[in-house]
Amino acid sequence: MDFPEPNLVKAVALALLVYIIVTYGHVLVQPKTTPAVAASKRVPSCGFPGCSKPAPLKCSRCREVSYCSKEHQKTHWKFHKKL
């Protein structure tokens, strides 16, 4: 039964740490300037709960909430009518 050298354990731990930093650092540094993201900054995201699609359709009642589709707009009207 050979236990690994303490220095080897340190080297492996360091390599793992560097790997994690490089992997997550790449994700953080990577600029997210895709056309889809740029478009979603101009168009507000859908006001329907759980939906984050770009929403060009505005609520015809309050004109404060936008929706991605007529389906989401109509479904959310039920909640708006209470207000």
For binding to Zn ion (CB under 5 A), which residues are involved? 46, 48, 51, 53, 59, 61-62, 65, 68, 72, 80
Q: Which two tokens stand for residue 40?
A: 């979603």
Smallest gap from residue 33 Cβ to Zn ion (A): 23
Smallest gap from residue 57 Cβ to Zn ion (A): 9
> Residue 11 or 71: which CB sits closer to Zn ion?
71
Q: What is the DSSP string of 24-77?
A: HHHHHHS----HHHHHHHHSPBP-STT--SB--EEPTTTSS-EESSHHHHHHHH
Smallest gap from residue 39 Cβ to Zn ion (A): 15
Question: What CA–CA distance (Å, rounded) separates 53 from 51?
Answer: 6
> Residue 26 or 70: which CB sits closer to Zn ion?
70
